[in-house]
Amino acid sequence: MEYVSVQDAEVPALGLGTWQLTGEECYDAVSTALELGYRHVDTAQLYENEREVGRAIADPDVDRDDVWVTTKVTPGNARTDDVVESTKESLDRLGTGYVDLLLLHWPNPLVSFRDTARGMAELRDDGLIRHAGVSNFRRWRLRRAREKSPIPILADQVRLHPFYTHQALREDAVENETMVTAYSPLAHGGLMDDRVLAEIGRRYDKTPAQVALRWVTGLENVSTVPKSTSRDHLEENLRALDFELTAAEREAIARPSYATSAKLFLRNEMGI
């Protein structure tokens, strides 16, 4: 495993995302991932799977302190008291005692982030979270969040893949010692038939998905949490860390295009 070192944290660069995973499917995916060596699991109140994630973490012979657990507060729980109470409820469901990282899932324009951060600070002081952060914040919102927060902002989790590279946000993150966590790093499955990734993959006997994950994990201060349910795909994702891309290959892979990114999202996630 590789790690992202930021502030005082060491975060596994490759984790498991659990969006849209529920019930036994979620439990089985997390259990299998931990068995294979994953030590980074991402969940959220909105996912309605914290109980299954926590049950999977509790079952295997893995030390809780070795697993990086992230959960997210829904925007409707952004006020100080709601942050505290809803996170305690999340911890009851997870059964993990604390979470390594608590994020605000989306900006809430009706609530100042100062109020949200106060709740996060209280939780950290009580030992219920170790780090605080945000999700789906653009660069200007991230900067404002830093200004308003009484505790450091460790991470911003955003959709990030070769067609949606967030270069300005990533540069800002490096400058301010913040981690970017990439969700949907495979562009909602839209990279599987990509000719550039396939051509590069043939040089290393890797799939297009593995090449895309190697590109993401090679970015400075970036971790990623692709979703997967099958053992084969979970193993395949881990093997994305055992080779290196050249600078020229990395440049060829990155093709920022809002139009392409939106098309892949609408086609593969929304069925449009």
**Of these residues, 27, 47, 98, 183, which one is catalytic?**
47
Q: Per-residue pLDDT for 269 more than 70?
A: no
**In the prediction, which pLDDT does 60 show?**
77
The model carries a pTM of 0.95
CA distances from 162 to 44, 68, 81, 156, 257 (A): 25, 25, 39, 18, 9
Q: What is the pLDDT of residues 218-227, one digit of tens each?
A: 999 999 999 9
Q: What is the pLDDT of residues 163-194, one digit of tens each?
A: 999 999 999 999 999 999 999 999 988 888 89
- Where on the phi/psi map is residue 110: left (φ > 0), alpha (ψ -120 to 50), or beta? alpha
Tell me which amino acid residue 174 is.
V
pLDDT-based confidence at residue 7 (cuts at 50, 70, 90): very high
**In the prediction, which pLDDT does 151 show?**
97
Specify whether 47 is catalytic: yes
CA atoms within 13 A on the CB side of 15: 28
Rounded average pLDDT over 11-31: 97
Q: What is the pLDDT of residues 104-160, one digit of tens each?
A: 999 999 999 999 999 999 999 999 999 999 999 999 999 999 999 999 999 999 999
